[in-house]
Structure 1
Amino acid sequence: MIPPLHFRWDGDALVPLRPILADRHYVVGETYSIVEHHDRSANSHRHYFAALGNAWSNLPDRMLEEFPTAEVLRKKLLIRAGYADERSIVCASKAEAQRVAAFVKPMDDYAIVTVREAVVRVYTAQSQSVKAMGAKAFQESKTKVLEALDDLLGVERGATARSEAA
């Protein structure tokens, strides 16, 4: 796999900033497709986690059992916002499904485990790491999580994001 390489447009050609690396991975005369990449904003990342932390520290006491830490809050809201991986287990009976759910739940403190009839569904939050999620997907997930947090708290959409912006 070719590592990300940076190029500068000089008006005529894309010139590699590290020619030795470009020579190592590209062949002179070959044609390559280019896709623009935008690095994630460190400020956006810090804002997101600060807003989540601030909101968590101000949660009503009745919500602390469901969201005992800011990390649990973030991951569960990621799942609710649709940034989740789902695994389903079909059991032989409703009773077996209840037993399987009880067995699976302690394996991941952040997972949401549901049972419907004889089917157990396990939802786990997708990673928001820089490696797992690019700038656009991170920004979309950040917006959806903060909106879900606003809905959970019963405040105007955007209030959580603004509270940390000041």
Structure 2
Amino acid sequence: MAREPLLRCIFTGTCLEPDGAIAAAALADKFGAGEVVSIDIDPDRSPRSHNHQFAFVHQAWLNLPESHHGQPYAASSGHLRKYALIKCGYHHADMIALGDPRRAERVAVTLARQSERDEVYRIITVEGAVIYSFTAETQKMKAMGKTRFQQSKQDILEFLADMIGVKPDELAKMGRRGTA
């Protein structure tokens, strides 16, 4: 099923008005005067900001200190982004209590192999007989709104800058050069 295109509207302080003649015509074709319409309220998230994040993550990955080489998160810039999201608290956590520490270790190894096979980046830890599995929240535009995305972007910028030994502003500039 095809999804209707998004129509840009402007909030005037009392109502939403279509932004331009094309949006107004599209709304007039779709709805009658006085018709009640439900809307999804989420301010636009800039593709430029989205792309900038991927660029500075890539720059951080290219500049990882040698001491990080060989770590699972150093395999790709995508893995590094997900690692940073998890470490900054933007994750889903699952806990599996198994009752026996040796069994927990064996199951954790199986989970890690399964994650690798399915190309899912996750951090798996074992504490006694309990396995903790962390996966990063998705940052797809439809899944993470503008405000949460901006906060996660800032948090991982600071985390990665610290990781590679630069100031967040420097890493942000490196990312802007990468998207230019």
Question: Which one of the candidate residues 73, 78, 93 is aligned to 2:85?
Answer: 78
Question: Matched residues in 2 for 1:56 and 1:11: separation?
Answer: 44
Shift of 1:59: 1.4
Distance 1:85 1:6, change over 3 A: same
Q: Does the 8 Å CA contact 1:5/1:22 hold for their aligned counterparts? A: no
Q: Which residue does the alignment assign to 2:34?
A: 28
Task: Report what 1:133 is aligned to.
Answer: 144
Larger fraction in helix: 2
Gaps of 5+ in 1: none
| AA matched with 2:34 | V
Q: CA RMSD in A?
A: 2.7
Query: Unmatched 5+ residue regions in structure 2?
Result: none
Question: How far apart, in 2, do the equivalents of 1:59 and 1:131 lie?
Answer: 30
Match for 2:126: what amino acid? V
Q: Structure 1 residue 102: deviation in Å?
A: 0.7
Aligned position for 2:97: 90
1:160 aligned residue (148, 171, 178) = 171
TM-score (normalised: structure 2): 0.77
Q: Which has the higher contact order (CA 8 A, sep 6+)?
A: 2
Distance 1:12 1:102, change over 3 A: closer
48, 60, 68: which one pairs with 2:65?
Answer: 60
The CA distance in 1 between the partners of 2:99 and 2:109, in whole Å, is 16
Aligned mates of 2:164, 2:152 — CA distance in 1: 18
Change (3 A) 1:8 1:143: closer
**Residue 168 of structure 2 aligns to a residue in which SS?**
coil
Match of 2:159 among 109, 128, 148: 148
- Kept in 1, the 8 Å contact 2:52–2:176? The answer is yes
TM-score by length of 1: 0.82
**Matched residues in 1 for 2:55 and 2:78: separation?**
12
| 1:69-93 superposed Cα distances (whole Å, 9 cap, x missing partner) | 1011000110000000000000121
